[in-house]
Amino acid sequence: MTLSSAPTPRVAVIGAGPAGLMAAEALAARGLAVEVFDAMPSVGRKFLLAGKGGLNLTHSEPAAPFLARYGRGAQALAPFVAAFGNDALRAWSAGLGIGTFVGSSGRVFPTDMKAAPLLRAWLQRLRAAGVTLSMRHRWTGWAAPDRHVLAFDTPAGAVEREVDAVVLALGGGSWRRLGSDGAWAPLLEARGVPVAPLRPSNCGFHVAPAWTALFRERHAGEPVKTVALSFEGFRQAGEFVVTETGIEGSLVYAASAALRDAIDTQGRATFHLDLLPGRTAEWVTAEVAHPRGSRSLSTHLKSRLGLQGVKAGLLNELVSKADMHDPAVLAARIKALPVTVDAARPLDEAISSAGGVRFDGLDAGLGVRAVPGLFAAGEMLDWEAPTGGYLLTACFATGRAAGNAAADWLLSRA
């Protein structure tokens, strides 16, 4: 039987985020009938929210350091990111009429910084290619054990749809209100698919002991700028925010995987903050030891070292009174202030999640070994990455790979 004399194979893509839409695009380009399902009322909700302050589409780093950002998932993601990395993603965006530029940090943004125009142009192209969208369809599993008869809950009641192949792009476990709730995990485990537990990534942490009431009242919500965080070989400069219960923000997110893993194995993790990363330890020691006469210590630190506000508050909160008045110890704490955390914030508050469908349960095309004709992509796979465009890049890349692999599988059977 040839493809021309047979009905066009039908593919369901479940999940209308970047990975799912990219899978749909790849499938439609191969001449397949594609329907995208999502539980939300509209597509790309997390994508749009992530781009609210400026859509960080990817990063301009060279291939090797770019791939290293995926840590333990780098080897598994390597072929997909190599096939559709940052340059390819920028070219794809340009093909939609959305130009991009590289910011001062190396991050790549659309020229107008917005996510909505890109999504609108993309949806227009998908519809023109024949892709159909079925919103408010929450996938609840399979209605038949040996075929891809999919069950959905909809406002009109339960419905079923039989297809020839399925691409799952259901996201991880963070931002439940936008559709990423991890409810797919038990459905896949019941079919013999190995799933690593979902855990928070790019998340905030609780400090131990808890902040004092005075510190919380004065500094909760304040950014701590121009510091460096060190932990187990990791060191990076940036900023973070003090919260009611601890810390969050870009610098903390960059170290979150290592901090979370240490907490999981040891119950807590202690990192160090360099409050003056632009100054040498020798300079700090000399300035702290400079005679201050009748001036208070806080005035001395402000005038000689520029330490005030939340940075001074952190010193008073985390350094004993005796050590604050020992110049040598205080200088050492300014360059390496120990901060202990003992719990990550809940998964639903995290920017992204770790864990998911394990790569040892997938073939080279992201096909699920235990369920022929089922493919998986995006954040629901077992990988994680820091913010900075790496998350979106891997979602686009794995979505494209899963879509092409599903097309290959179907067309080889026609």
How confident is the prediction along the chain (414 residues), in pLDDT tens digits per residue? 333 456 899 999 999 999 999 999 999 999 999 999 999 999 999 899 887 888 999 999 999 999 999 999 999 999 999 999 999 999 999 999 999 999 989 999 999 999 999 999 999 999 999 999 999 999 999 998 889 999 999 999 999 999 999 999 999 998 788 888 999 999 999 999 999 999 999 999 999 999 999 999 999 999 999 999 999 999 999 999 999 999 999 999 999 999 999 999 999 999 999 999 999 999 999 999 999 899 999 999 999 999 999 999 999 999 999 999 999 999 999 999 999 999 999 999 999 999 999 999 999 999 999 999 999 999 999 999 999 999 999 999 999 999 999 999 999 987
pLDDT for position 3: 39
118 and 154 share one domain? yes
Distance from C-alpha of 305 to C-alpha of 289, rounded to nearest angstrom:
11
Domain that holds residue 294: 205-344
Domain count, the chain: 2
Distance from C-alpha of 380 to C-alpha of 354, rounded to nearest angstrom:
9
Distance from C-alpha of 381 to C-alpha of 278, rounded to nearest angstrom:
39
* The one-letter amino acid at 144: A
112 and 245 share one domain? no
228 and 158 share one domain? no
168 and 182 share one domain? yes
- Contact status, residue 410 vs residue 11, Cβ threshold 8 Å: yes
Domain boundary among 300, 321, 344: 344
CA of residue 99 relative to chain centroid, distance: 23
165 and 277 share one domain? no
- Contact status, residue 139 vs residue 39, Cβ threshold 8 Å: yes
State phi, psi for 195 to the nearest 5 degrees: -130, 120
Distance from C-alpha of 308 to C-alpha of 28, rounded to nearest angstrom:
58
53 and 194 share one domain? yes
165 and 75 share one domain? yes
**Strand-by-strand arrangement of the 100-102 sheet:** 58-59, 107-110, 100-102
End-to-end CA distance of the chain: 7
pLDDT for position 2: 37
**CATH of residue 60:** 3.50.50.60
Q: Which residue has the tokens 């493809």?
A: 3
- Contact status, residue 357 vs residue 194, Cβ threshold 8 Å: yes
Domain boundary among 301, 317, 344: 344
406: CB partners within 8 A, 6+ apart:
11, 23, 27, 165, 166, 167, 365, 367, 373, 375
301 and 367 share one domain? no
SS percent in the chain: helix, strand, coil, step 5: 40, 25, 35
83 and 36 share one domain? yes
pLDDT for position 6: 61
338 and 381 share one domain? no
116 and 66 share one domain? yes
136 and 50 share one domain? yes
| SS3 at position 290 | coil
Cα separation values, 231 from 120, 259, 261, 282, Å: 42, 8, 12, 22
pLDDT for position 1: 32
Domain boundary among 309, 344, 379: 344
